[in-house]
Amino acid sequence: MASHGAGRVMSRSAAFKTLDKADIAANLVDKRITLMGSDVDEAPMAYKDIHTVMAAQNDLVEVLAKFEPRIVRMADAREKPED
């Protein structure tokens, strides 16, 4: 069984302290990703590199396809989770 995601490389508080919203926006434009919701703590830079993570699991999984999202919807920073 493979991990369900890359995992964080940066805590949420560290992301807020160190990441720049303009850099994040430029990264999303470069990758042609439309982001709805979210905040700095969920930026791609706050997570481990998925290619490195998958390479570490190559004896567990066979990669059949690569998914590149174009639209991502996440909760807004002030939005409360549903019960």
Q: For 6-52, how does the pLDDT look when each residue is reduced to its tens digit (9 = 90+)? A: 789 999 999 999 999 999 999 999 999 999 988 999 898 999 998 89
User: Is 0.95 topped by the overall pTM?
Assistant: no
CA–CA separation, 48 vs 34, rounded Å? 21
Which residue, chain included where needed, has tokens 């791609």? 44
Instruction: Catalytic residue, from 1, 4, 64, 81: name it.
Output: 4
Query: Where in the chain are the domains?
Result: 12-75
CA–CA separation, 59 vs 44, rounded Å? 26
Q: Name the token pair of 4.
A: 């369900």
**Mean pLDDT, residues 44-61 taken together:** 90
Q: Which of 39, 40, 47, 38 is nearest to 72 (CA)?
A: 38
Q: Is 4 a catalytic residue?
A: yes
Which residue, chain included where needed, has tokens 């919701």? 37
